[in-house]
Amino acid sequence: MTVENPTNEGAVSAQAIWALVDDRAGNRSQVVGVAEAVGRPYELKELAYGPLARLPNAFLGSTFMGLSKLSKTGLTPPWPDLIIAAGRRTAPVARRIKHLSGGGCRLLQIMWPGSQGAADFDAIAVPDHDPPRHGGNIVMVTGAAHGFTAPLLESLRHAWRDKFEPLRRPWVSLLIGGSTKNRTFTQKMAVDLARQSVEATAKIGGSLLVSTSRRTGVDMAPLFEDAGVPVRLYDWTRTEENPYGGYIACADYTIVTGDSMSMCSEACATQVPAYVFAPPALITEKHKRFHDKLFALGYAKPFEGRLENWNHPPLNPATKLAERAETLLGR
């Protein structure tokens, strides 16, 4: 194994924070969400991977071997005091930096990195719907961390509210994910979701704010033609500004497809009623456990074609993880 920067081991900068991010949107949003919640300057380190990243972490150990050549050039001393990272592929990188820093760099890892080298991490955020993990470095959280803090939500309301004003209230945000590696968002699911959302919105005299994603895989626009309620639909293939954040911040009600833990958590970022559309054929057992946790704690309800007026505490585990980050930094 190549030893990186052997003459600079132990060099640590003053109170620096690195956020390791890669091409996985869910991982990236969690890392940036926690970094923003800490409220201190941080540096984004963009990671791209080579073929070796496919190897198990138990084989890779503590190394930069899985990274592309360009990514390696961005990881040089002085080393940070804290690294925030998420996902399996970042774990060997974070561990290597800690070793090169002489142990001075603290590691906050989001999601279980694997048993190999788990003790190297100073804090590991584990979803409480997964099998329990034990250890002093384990932090149990509900949902996925995200960046929709109270100040950001207020800023988004200010930026988007006037753009939605022509639509009658209440505003119902419909956040559509789509197919995953193991499940397909079918045409029938799309038709059912559109019909139920329109009917529920019509009953409360409101308007629909619809957002699709690159995973949707179904042309949703025809399903809302002649809907009978005002509809603003964002198609992710367009070049217009993405209103996703505005939809979350301004919604009076939110409906979200249950295929993404990140999207479901973001849908619960405010106090308005949140509903999860989760047909069994779209949802894995792991996602079902997550939904059941949200329902049990009162953050969301299953979407069954109707909307009721209730509220819940905002959900964002980034706050809890930011507090742990402060502890790791000695504040």
pLDDT score of 5 = 40
Both tokens of residue 179?
Answer: 């197919």
User: Residue 109 has what DSSP assignment?
Assistant: E
Evaluate if residue 187 carries a pLDDT over 80: yes
Query: Which residue pairs, CB below 8 angstroms and at least 24 apart, start in 235-240?
Result: 236/211, 236/212
Evaluate if residue 3 carries a pLDDT over 50: no
* Nearest partner of 116 among 136, 91, 140, judged by Cα: 91
Confidence of residue 15 (pLDDT cuts 50, 70, 90): confident
As to burial, measured by CB atoms within 10 angstroms (0-12 exposed, 13-18 middle, 19+ buried), residue 19 is: buried
* Nearest partner of 106 among 88, 79, 146, judged by Cα: 79
Evaluate if residue 49 carries a pLDDT over 60: yes
Residues 259, 143, 315, 203: what is their CA dihedral angle, to the nearest 10 degrees? 20
pTM: 0.88
According to DSSP, the residues that pair with 171 across neighbouring strands are: 207
Residues in the chain: 331
Evaluate if residue 188 carries a pLDDT over 60: yes
Evaluate if residue 14 carries a pLDDT over 70: no
The Cα–Cα gap between 213 and 174 comes to: 12
Query: What is the arithmetic mean of pLDDT over 64-68?
Result: 96
Evaluate if residue 298 carries a pLDDT over 80: yes
Distances (CA, A) of 212 to 136, 153, 215, 244: 40, 20, 8, 9
Q: How do strand 138-141 and strand 171-175 relate by DSSP bridges?
A: unpaired
Distances (CA, A) of 125 to 35, 49, 57: 14, 23, 18
Evaluate if residue 101 carries a pLDDT over 80: yes
pLDDT score of 238 = 79
* Nearest partner of 209 among 239, 223, 230, judged by Cα: 230
Report yes or no: 74 and 89 within 8 Å, Cβ to Cβ: no
Confidence of residue 12 (pLDDT cuts 50, 70, 90): very low
Confidence of residue 135 (pLDDT cuts 50, 70, 90): confident
The Cα–Cα gap between 116 and 133 comes to: 14
Evaluate if residue 1 carries a pLDDT over 50: no
* Nearest partner of 38 among 18, 11, 14, judged by Cα: 18
- What does the radius of gyration of the chain's CA atoms come to, in whole angstroms? 21
Evaluate if residue 9 carries a pLDDT over 80: no
Domains and CATH numbers, the chain: 6-145+319-328 (3.40.50), 150-302 (3.40.50.2000)
Q: How many CB atoms lie within 10 A of CB 26?
A: 18
What kind and span of H or E run contains 158?
helix 150-164
In one-letter notation, the amino acid at residue 294 is L
Report yes or no: 194 and 220 within 8 Å, Cβ to Cβ: yes
E-assigned strands of 80-237? Answer: 82-86, 106-110, 123-127, 138-141, 171-175, 207-211, 231-234
Evaluate if residue 6 carries a pLDDT over 50: no
Query: What is the arithmetic mean of pLDDT over 238-266?
Result: 95
Lowest mean pLDDT among 2-6, 30-34, 39-43, 75-79: 2-6
Evaluate if residue 8 carries a pLDDT over 70: no
Sheet bearing 171-175, strands edge to edge: 231-234, 207-211, 171-175, 253-257, 274-277, 301-302
pLDDT score of 331 = 63
Average pLDDT of every residue of the chain: 93
Both tokens of residue 260?
Answer: 């993404």
Evaluate if residue 119 carries a pLDDT over 50: yes
